[in-house]
């Protein structure tokens, strides 16, 4: 160390290097958070091999560690907020479709199924990004931990909801079938009941599709592990992207064949093998964002906030105008494929393009970012899973029990139903979801 220090002092900027050699490991980590250029300087300083030009540049631009950390935290928080905002826009059509209130129903009356598609895109993106991050850090995926985290995310609130639904009149056999439908890996078409005793459970079919996707996706990525961590990582990342896009196109063609073979709308829409549009496109977008070096054209692509606004307008229009699935899968008199079926994958494509554009210009403070990152909208997005679970039960069975006790509440139907939905969702989120989400930290690789 003395000989090294002596040689450094002989340089023009020796004092700078000596100071940098004295940095603690935690301070070096803070420097690393500022970006590639600062990371290189910190590493070279810690090893005592920084050039005079690097040291001089560091002198010219002092580093504020706290500002750096705060900037990184704000960036991460910003991204989470606009994703939560997108979830909020996805839950509104679902609430309107299930007639939570007259106001929402008149606006989103036939678009609830499109809100589900938006959820699928976001879910496919986030879960794939999580798996790819773990692969990059550890070189593998801990399947036991991954599936444990997914169960902790979905199951506790769902099980409490099923118990309460039974207490308010939903038949126990239907509740058991709904739970089985969500977690059975062999079931293809999921549970959509027509019996009045099972109506509070009518929306649980979407959880079954997501759970099966959570089961298969990490296995696919694990099979790709050696390729994604090898020398040809970029090429294999491109191949993985092509795989997801090809699977999306194949699934659309497969569903069309089922349509031509006169499959029912329930089979076409609630089947795991016929409704992977959003999940597959979300997974493809995660690969695109995670392996930026593998897609140089995408990396260099600059997206202006006006593009985001136009995509957002297309997303809203698609949400409002796609129509009821019975119309989407209705039969043409001449027997050819109904063009309305294309609206489902097209909405997934628009949502995916919007998601990617939001990330590409996250620093431009577009009106769309401002709207989706609004604290109230983002909070509604964080409640979206609980709202999705409880809204049918809250605005039907629980509402009926409430107005029997307080008949005057019928003068404020919409307000009462909104309050019930938000109240039960908040109860589920803060008292059930969040405590179990904390346990997820025990299952990190």
pLDDT band at 46 (very low <50, low <70, confident <90, very high): very low
Report the sign of the C-alpha dihedral through residues 224, 225, 226, 231, in that order.
positive
> Which tokens sit at 147?
């599936």
Residue 320, pLDDT > 90, answer no
Each residue of 285-297: pLDDT tens digit? 999 999 999 999 9
Q: How far apart are CA 271 and CA 212, in angstroms?
A: 11
Identify the weakest region by mean pLDDT among 61-75, 232-246, 299-313, 348-362. Answer: 61-75
Tokens of 145: 């931990």
Pick from 427, 381, 319: nearest CA to 126: 381
Contact 103, 68 (CB under 8 A): no
DSSP string for 191-220? ----SGGGGGGTTTHHHHHHHHHHHHHHHH
- What is the rounded distance in angstroms from the CA atom of residue 101 to the CA atom of residue 95? 8
pLDDT score of 187: 62
Residue-wise pLDDT for 377-431, tens only, equals: 999 999 999 999 999 999 989 999 999 998 888 888 889 999 999 999 999 999 9
Mean of per-residue pLDDT scores for the chain: 79
User: Once rounded to an integer, what is the mean pLDDT over residues 269-289?
Assistant: 92
Please state the separation of Cα 56 from the chain's center in Å.
Answer: 43
At 228 the pLDDT is 81
Q: Hey, how many other C-beta atoms are within 10 angstroms of the C-beta on 436?
A: 15
- In this predicted structure, the answer to whether residue 221 has a pLDDT above a threshold of 90 is yes
| Helix (H/G/I), strand (E/B), else coil: 271 | strand
Q: What is the mean pLDDT of residues 43-55?
A: 42
């Amino acid at each position: 160390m003395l000989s090294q220090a002596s040689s450094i002092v002989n340089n023009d900027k020796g004092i700078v290097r000596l100071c940098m050699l004295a940095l603690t490991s935690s301070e070096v980590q803070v420097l690393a958070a500022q970006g590639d250029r600062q990371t290189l300087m910190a590493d070279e300083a810690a090893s005592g091999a920084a050039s005079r030009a690097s040291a001089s540049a560091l002198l010219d631009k002092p580093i504020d560690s706290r500002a750096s950390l705060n900037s990184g935290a704000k960036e991460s928080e910003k991204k989470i907020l606009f994703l939560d905002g997108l979830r909020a826009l996805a839950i509104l059509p679902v609430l309107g479709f299930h007639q939570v209130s007259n106001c929402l129903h008149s606006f989103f009356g036939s678009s609830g199924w499109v809100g589900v598609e938006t959820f699928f895109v976001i879910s496919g993106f986030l879960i794939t990004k999580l798996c790819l991050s773990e692969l990059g850090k550890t070189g593998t995926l801990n399947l036991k931990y991954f599936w444990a985290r997914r169960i902790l995310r979905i199951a506790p609130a769902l099980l409490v909801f099923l118990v309460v639904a039974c207490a308010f009149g939903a038949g126990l056999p239907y509740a058991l079938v709904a739970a089985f439908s969500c977690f059975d890996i062999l079931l293809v078409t999921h549970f959509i009941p027509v019996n009045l005793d099972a109506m509070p459970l009518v929306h649980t079919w979407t959880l079954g599709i997501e759970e099966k996707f959570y089961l298969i996706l990490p296995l696919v990525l694990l099979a790709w592990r050696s390729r994604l961590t090898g020398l040809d990582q970029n090429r294999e990342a491109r191949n993985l992207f092509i795989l997801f896009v090809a699977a999306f196109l194949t699934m659309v063609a497969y569903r069309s064949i089922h349509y031509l073979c006169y499959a029912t709308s329930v089979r076409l829409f609630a089947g795991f093998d016929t409704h992977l549009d959003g999940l597959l496109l979300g997974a493809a977008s995660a690969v695109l964002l995670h392996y930026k070096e593998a897609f140089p054209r995408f990396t260099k692509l600059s997206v202006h906030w006006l593009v985001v606004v136009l995509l957002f307008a297309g997303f809203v229009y698609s949400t409002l105008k796609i129509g009821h699935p019975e119309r989407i899968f209705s039969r043409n008199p001449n027997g050819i494929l109904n063009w309305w079926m294309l609206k489902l994958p097209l909405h997934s494509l628009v949502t995916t393009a919007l998601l990617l554009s939001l990330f590409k210009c996250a620093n431009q403070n577009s009106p769309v970012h401002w709207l989706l990152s609004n604290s109230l909208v983002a909070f509604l997005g964080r409640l979206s899973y609980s709202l999705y679970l409880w809204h049918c039960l809250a605005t039907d069975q629980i509402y009926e029990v409430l107005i029997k006790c307080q008949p005057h509440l019928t003068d404020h139907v919409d307000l009462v139903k909104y309050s019930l939905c938000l109240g039960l969702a908040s109860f589920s989120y803060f008292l059930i979801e969040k405590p179990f989400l904390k346990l997820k930290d025990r299952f990190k690789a």
